[in-house]
Structure 1
Amino acid sequence: MTDLTTALTGISGILATPYDADGNIAPAKQAPIVERALKAGVHILTANGNTGEFYSLTTDEAIEMVTAAAGHIGGRCPLVAGVGRALPDACRLAKASAAAGASALMIHQPPDPFVAPRGVVDYVKAVSEAGNNLPMVLYLRNDGIGTDAIAALCSVPGVVGVKWATPNPMKLKAAMEASPDDIIWVGGLAEVWAPTFYAVGARGFTSGLINVWPERSVAISQALEGGDYAKARDLIAGMQVFEDIRAEEQGGANVPGVKAALAMMGEDCGGVRPPAAWPLSDDQTSRLKAFMDDAGLLSRKAS
């Protein structure tokens, strides 16, 4: 537990899910991504997160990907396994993730339009039981459920952290004050929002950039942990265009930006399933290539 909670205060890298030319998952293509991230010093890796296209995968595919990720990692860092969707699917995936050797479960916030806050508590408890009571991290993308509901979720036995993925730092502060003191609050909107969330007490951040440029993510983490916000902002400015592209088309270019960058590095991980934006537009591709060139990432193509 100590290793997990310490790792959560660092970088939570969200692994991409590679596809082959026919659009089927290709788990073996994920291995170089894992190796690069671990070599750079990324603290924790997540399978079946949103950068992993969780909602585009079947439950069988998600089980195959978490099993593959565990094999690639080989116990060298904690593995967090994303679970969610219909409760039977979430429970099945939780059980399979525990069997694969995951260190913790990341509970995707249910996207059902008729979610009752107290119903989410029951959902999390059921997933916990199915996952052999592995530690749990709540992935919060909608803070509209209210501070009391968030505090109730954080009080569920086994919950050790929250990935806060809404651009509301003051609501984050209120939730932190209302919840148990031992919860780890992780910035869930990647590097760009990390300084803001750090300023109100969060620690660590999620990252899709680690698939492509983990060294920059690690440098940002080190700057923030050292209290050097100016350096962190400068480092973030140097990768801002990558995140800007990913945020376009209502976020629909998020994973396509990662997949296109990997292809430019000579690591073709396939396309992205609809309803994401694939391929990138000519303008997006041009800006992404310029960023990759400026960052020296195209030189990795031959390695």
Structure 2
Amino acid sequence: MRHTTAELRTALNGISGILVTPFDGDDTLVPDRLAPIVDRAIEAGVHVLVANGNTSEFYGLTTREAEQMVQAVAGHIAGRVPLLAGVGRSLHDALTLARASQDAGASALMVHQPPDPFVAPRGVVSYVQRIAQEVGDLPLVLYLRDDGIGLDAITELCAIPQVIGVKWASPTPLRLAQAMARTRDHDIAWVGGLAEHWAPPFYAVGSRGFTSGLINVRPAHSVAIHSALEAGDYPRAMQLIRGMAEFEALRAEERNGTNVTVVKRALQLQGNDCGAVRAPGAWPLSDKAEDTLRRLLEEWDLA
């Protein structure tokens, strides 16, 4: 079941949970291993689930593997919450995956900002416009990791009719406030794209909701943080965020190369083995990080 744009727009004010991609010991996709993780996240109250995001190792997947994952995740979710499907890389890869995601029943596409070393701001606009043309009225959410493309380009992107949301993944809340002011005539969902620990400053300038990789492991904690922020209880939100700070610090090691590593190893220790992380991500964890992660899961009663 594809959710309506109105339902999706409301859900984007919540948590966008970025799902891992499961592999077996032979480095082959095993999508069924994701089913209990999806169920746990939905039961905890996560509002939107995302296939083919960065925690999904999007850039480590072939386009065909990404197609398989969005189809499998749609089946696991079975219409219970909106499915946001990541698309990106070369324009033609993005178009192929956009069509597959639309066919799978995704409620919207999340368009990864092109990581090409030669990106023109107007080229990004053309890239998103071409994807929008391909999928008709299917909503788009922009995944903006580099606000260096400038406010003019961001404003032009938000004027594309299918764009209903922006996941702001740049640590620049004041710049975010400027972008929101420039686009106030559009009903854009501005979502914190740097997970829980950046959610309070983004909320402070008017953003709502946030992305999360923690939901794979401890979804109820993310939901509690969201509830505190929605209630305006910043002290409670900060207390809960401090309670996950060591976990996020582990994910930031090795130039963020352990971001997915920590999540996947935690899942293994919980009995939800989703395999290793593909290079160039780090695998396995260092001995020190492994010890810290085991201690955290014991403290959280998740080991």
Q: How does 1:119-268 map to 2 (within 5 A)?
A: 119-179=123-183, 180-268=185-273
How many Å separate the matches in 1 of 2:225 and 2:275?
A: 29
Structure 1 Cα separation of the partners of residues 25 and 251 of structure 2: 23
Greater displacement, 152-161 / 123-132: 123-132
User: What is the Cα deviation at residue 148 of structure 1?
Assistant: 1.1
Q: Could you tell me which residue of structure 1 aligns to residue 65 of structure 2?
A: 61
Q: Does 1:71 align with 2:63?
A: no
Q: How does 1:264-283 map to 2 (within 5 A)?
A: 264-283=269-288
- Match for 2:258: what amino acid? A
Q: 2:94 aligns with which of 68, 90, 97?
A: 90
One-letter amino acid of the counterpart of residue 157, structure 1: P
| SS of equivalent residue, structure 2 residue 222 | helix
CA-to-partner distance for each residue in 1:95-129, whole Å, 9 max, x for gaps?
00000000000000001111111111111111122
Residue 106 of structure 1: SS of its match in structure 2? strand
Partner in structure 2 of residue 21 of structure 1: 25
CA–CA distance in structure 1, aligned partners of residues 257 and 47 of structure 2: 27
TM-score by length of 1: 0.97
Residue 101, structure 1, aligned to residue 105, structure 2: yes
Hey, what does 2:290 align to over in structure 1? 285
Superposition deviation, residue 132 in structure 1: 3.5
Q: Which amino acid aligns with 1:285?
A: E
Cα RMSD for the two superposed structures = 0.7
Query: Which amino acid is 1:162 matched to?
Result: V
Q: Comparing 120-129 with 218-227, which one deviates more in the overlay?
A: 120-129
Q: Which amino acid aligns with 1:253?
A: T
> What SS is found at the alignment partner of 2:56?
coil
Q: Which of 81, 85, 94 is matched with 1:81 structurally? A: 85
Rounded to whole Å, the distance in 2 between the matches of 1:16 and 1:33 is 9
Tell me the amino acid that sits aligned with residue 192 of structure 1.
H
Which residue identity is paired with 1:278?
A: W
2:142 alignment partner, SS class:
strand
Q: Supply the distance in 2 between the matched residues of 1:130 and 1:283 (Cα, whole angstroms).
A: 48
User: Structure 1: how far apart are the matches of 2:147 and 2:96?
Assistant: 27
Unaligned runs of 5+ in 1: 299-303
Aligned residues: 298
8 Å Cα contact 1:97/1:131 also seen in 2: no
Identity of aligned residues (%): 62
Rounded to whole Å, the distance in 2 between the matches of 1:174 and 1:149 is 13
For structure 2, which runs of at least 5 residues remain unmatched after alignment?
A: none
- CA distance, structure 1, for counterparts of residue 126 and residue 285 of structure 2: 40
Deviations 1:34-69 (A, max 9, x none): 000000010000000000000000000000000000
Which residue in 1 is equivalent to 2:302?
297
Shift of 1:80: 0.2
TM-score (norm 2): 0.97
